[in-house]
A and B are shown apart, each in its own frame.
Chain A
Amino acid sequence: MSALRIAVSLDCFLLLYCLLSLLVETVWRPLRTLQVAQQSVATILFGLRILPVLASLIITFALVVPSFQLLPINESMGAIPVALGVCALLWIACGFFRAFAAQSRTTRAVTCWLEGARPLIVNANSTAATFQSRRESPPLIVVGVRRPRVLVSESTVALLTPDELRMALRHEHEHMKSRDNLKRLILVFCPFPGMARLESAWSQAAELAADDAAVSDQRDALDLAAALVKLSRLVPVTTPPVCSAGFVAGSVSQRIERLLAWDEASKARRVHIRTWFVIPFAVALSLLLTVAHRPVLAFTHEITEWLVR
């Protein structure tokens, strides 16, 4: 009985996830052209990417599971719900495995690159952990999820002027501030076919957002562009792990062209969409669900049984 309940809940989660993912795949494209700051574009794209998994989890735990606790289950549903439930379990296990593998690959890479590395202090105000690696590491990279570190190769330090290095590090520190490595790990956890383009668009928006946040005047923009040109010439020695944000990433030519056309006035004009705007909607939805709890659960129960039958 309870196994069937769990199976139906898992089915509902999987079906919702697939439906919402297909919906997101269809509607996300026009959002790239929103006239807002790149930081907001990146937030919206990432929000859309994780919306299917987040919404499916919330609906399953807030509605589907309680509905099967309160109301009796139709036992004549056959073997389909159980088979689908096994698929859902396999999908979840696969997500955990992918995330675990990505995390352990990252840890191994960090341990290797940090061997004999020494702390690098470029800016006294910066508190971020920055190391100059002696091993063959990527030119400049922020790596790790729980304790992200910025790693700079010896060739990068030799190649860039102090100002260019300062700007390149500031760009990486912006990736750290926006927890981009954690976001990459989350994306690894919830794969879906056809989402690669949305992920790639998010990745590019995150790069542009880090550029925008790092640059404060025309001179900074030129220093960052010069650092990008110089480091793009370096041949990568290793493939960076998933939980990392390299400095030379995304469309480099687009980034350099934007930096060359940098304008203080246009930066100030760009609209920022704050993430806390969603809080009132979430509170309103929770209140609505609390008030209409019983009828909503009954409706969910009916819909779920119809879906998995």
Chain B
Amino acid sequence: MNNILRLLLASRKIRLGPLEETILFAIWQQPDGITTRELRDRVDVGRAYITIVTTLNRLRKKGLVDRIAVEGTKVVTFRYVPRYTMAEVERDVASNAIRQLLGLDVAGPLLLSRMVEEISKHDAEMLDELGRLVDEKRRKDQSSNANITGIFCSVCTAPDRLFSLVSNRLEGCMIGAVSESKNLAPKVGKVFIVAKLPGPMVAKEFQLLVKHKLSKLNGQEKTWEQR
């Protein structure tokens, strides 16, 4: 991020002192805004309150930050937000870099195609990384939600038939049925199908399966309770 900041400042012909740079960097890390007090408490800033206020005012004059008034209980405080988002800065820096590159005498089709190749490679790497993060999160999510116990309560004409249709259809699930009349094969009645399922994905699949079979048996879905 520091490199991008330097490139942005160079492209806009803005000169910043070390403290201005540190504070701007700190504000950038908080896209929702940061107060002067919060800035003062940061270890990397470590300056007096009034020094920070002066520096912030200078940054405002240079058009790099904006301030938003926040109504407090006693006094009005200001939150400082970056005027340019990270995406805008990236776009600005990229445009400048490309403009400079195209301005070179050597810039030709080969240089441009090499550039496109590099960008595609970078994009593919970024997508690989994001895909890996999604897979990792999915695995974590499945393992934390393992062994969900669901109770499906329904009324249908043939609960025993429903039970036999549903059981043994889903791998890794323990499914049992309990009838209200204490008879596992009543002609009409309320049936509770208790299922121990390995995760939320299977739970949804199980729900759909029971609903489908119920519609075939003219049954009505009553409740689905997940524990």
Contacts and interface: CB of A to CB of B under 8 A. Distances in A.
Q: For the complex, would chain A's binding face be called helix, strand, loop or mixed by DSSP majority? A: helix
B68 A225 contact: no
Band of interface residues on B: 20 to 34
B14 interface: no
Interface stretch (B43-51, B132-140, B152-160): B132-140
Contacts of A35: 32
B93 to A, nearest CB: 15
B33 interface: yes
Contacts of B201: 163, 219
Interface string B151-177: 000000000000000000000000000
Contacts of B66: 29-30
Nearest to A226: B134
Best-buried of A219, A257, A260 by chain B (most CB within 10 Å): A219
B126 interface: yes
Given A219-B200, A229-B127, A233-B127, A32 B134 contact: no
B126 A30 contact: no
A222 B138 contact: yes
Interface stretch (A44-52, A56-64, A172-180, A248-256): A248-256
B130 interface: yes
B83 interface: yes
A167 to B, nearest CB: 12
A225 B81 contact: no
Given A29-B83, A35-B32, A219 B134 contact: no
A229 B128 CA distance: 8
Band of interface residues on A: 20 to 34
A30 B83 CA distance: 7
B81 A33 contact: yes
B31 A33 contact: yes
A125 to B, nearest CB: 12
A225 B124 contact: no
Contact of A225 (B87, B123, B126, B134): B134
Interface in B100-147: 123-124, 126-127, 130-131, 133-135, 137-138, 141
Best-buried of A204, A226, A229, A260 by chain B (most CB within 10 Å): A229
Given A30-B81, A197-B88, A204-B87, 20 more contacts: A29-B66, A29-B83, A30-B66, A33-B32, A33-B68, A33-B81, A35-B32, A218-B141, A222-B134, A222-B138, A222-B141, A226-B135, A229-B130, A229-B131, A251-B87, A256-B130, A256-B134, A257-B130, A260-B134, A260-B137
Interface of B: 31-33, 66, 68, 81, 83, 85, 87-88, 123-124, 126-127, 130-131, 133-135, 137-138, 141, 200-201
9 contacts: A33-B31, A33-B81, A204-B87, A218-B141, A226-B131, A226-B134, A253-B126, A256-B130, A260-B134
